[in-house]
Amino acid sequence: MTGDAGWSPRFGHTSVVLSDGSIVLMGGLGSEGRLNDVWRSSDYGATWTRVDRSQSWTPRYVHCSVAMPDDSIILMGGSDASGSFANDVWRSADRGSTWTEIMASAAWSGRQHQSCAVLDDSRIVLMGGYGSGTLLNDVWQSDDAGMNWARISGFTPWSPRYGQASVEMPDGSLILIGGVLGGATGTPGNYGNDVWRWIPPTNPAQDRPAEVLVTKQIRPDSLKQGTNATIEITVINNAKTPIHDVEILDTTLPEFLVQSGELQYATSLLEPNETRILSYTILATTPGSYQLNRTQVMYADTTGNYTIAYSNNPRVVVLAPLFPPAEKNSGDPIRIFFGWLGFR
């Protein structure tokens, strides 16, 4: 795609892909030291634009980052500018342009070379790494986009390591691959090629009595730039008990402007099998392929426990017009006169 990207040569950086197909690259280590710049590409990496305007996390490398279902980015830990092992957590809600620190010191110890993944239900899982002279094999989980963390209890069969890779499978399981084992200095003798599979425990929120089904549809799902589409959100209380204090919230991508309708709704009660439907119209402004944000529904069950349920996030394709926009006349009488004579 390019032999010389706009950002400086580096390693130990992280990158994520967002629902609109853009790639966001963050930090790393280069000839000038640790970095905290943020770059974005919307053409599969061919060209890049620096996007950070007021980013606050310290220069670092060998951190980890994930893209959440709502297209926010969570950045965690790493080796920071002082050479310390960080355990801070940062969030960007605008594709890497600005950042907010949501946790200065997470429950997991400061570390670098850890691996992270985000599950379909928005849980973030952080695994292993290296910190304070120790290789790690602990596993941590956050249910609220990195604000709070809990260690996953139980024996971890894979040996302590750093520099491993982790991926989530379509069935929700996580695969952990390789890494540096048995020593802080990585040499071929302690590089691993083992592979482990973990099925995360069910999110406790999913075991509560109330079960809410949230579906999101866009019609049409292929449209022309400058035309409208309708988004419909259906919320069903599929449990046998009522749910209370229900809040429904949807958000749009910057490329779609809301023309009419409502993106949020609240009700004090939904009885079993009761349904609520939200509908609004958007205008497509920019060609491309997009994955819409998930709708969030917060509610309380009969015992007072609050839960957030998420919808699917459907895809939509926006096509550019085949004809270029018509040239508009300036309205200047002299220009109009010479236009009649065939001059431009």
List the Cα angle 181/80/66 in 5-degree steps: 70
Say which CATH number the domain at 229 has: 2.60.40.10
Give me the sheet containing 256-261, strands edge to edge.
212-219, 228-237, 275-284, 256-261
- Do the domain assignments include residue 3? no
Note whether 197 and 118 are same-domain residues: yes
Q: Which residues pair with 40 in a beta bridge?
A: 24, 49
Query: Is there a single domain that holds both residue 168 and residue 272?
Result: no
Residues 262 and 157 in one domain: no
313 and 224 in a common domain:
yes
Q: Are residues 212 and 195 in the same domain?
A: no
Residue 20 is assigned to a structural domain of this protein: yes
Does a structural domain hold residue 342? no
HEC assignment per residue over 191-220? EEEEEEEECCCCCHHHHCCCCEEEEEEEEC
What pLDDT score was predicted for residue 54? Answer: 59
Q: How far apart are CA 38 and CA 49, in angstroms?
A: 9
Has residue 256 been placed in a domain?
A: yes
Residue-by-residue pLDDT tens, the chain, 344 positions: 999 999 999 999 999 999 889 999 999 999 999 999 999 999 999 999 999 865 689 999 999 999 998 889 999 999 998 878 999 999 998 899 999 898 899 999 999 999 999 988 889 999 999 998 889 999 999 988 898 899 987 678 999 999 999 999 888 889 999 999 977 677 777 899 999 998 877 655 444 444 788 889 999 999 999 999 999 999 999 888 999 999 999 999 999 999 999 999 999 999 998 999 999 999 999 999 888 888 999 999 888 988 888 888 788 999 999 988 776 655 566 665 556 566 55
Task: Show the 3-state SS of 158-203.
Answer: CCCEECCEEEECCCCCEEEEEEEECCCCCCHHHEEEEEEEECCCCC
pLDDT at residue 210, rounded to an integer: 44
Same domain, 115 and 56: yes
Give the number of domains in the chain: 2
Q: Which letter, b or e, does each residue of 91-106 get, where b requires 16 or more Cβ atoms within 10 Å of its Cβ? A: bbeebbbbbeebbeeb
Q: What is the CATH number of the domain that holds 113?
A: 2.120.10.80
Last residue of a domain, one of 204, 236, 255: 204
Residues 197 and 102 grouped into a single domain: yes
Paired with 283 in beta bridges are: 228, 257
Pair 176, 246 in one domain: no
74 and 215, same domain (yes or no) = no
**Enclosing domain of residue 145:** 14-204
Domain check: are 236 and 183 in the same one?
no
- Has residue 344 been placed in a domain? no
Q: Which of 174, 204, 234 is the last residue of a domain?
A: 204
Same domain assignment for residues 81 and 222: no
Q: Is there a single domain that holds both residue 197 and residue 214? A: no
To the question of pTM greater than 0.75 for the whole model, the response is no
Instruction: Assess if residue 21 is contained within a domain.
Output: yes
In a domain, 117, yes or no: yes
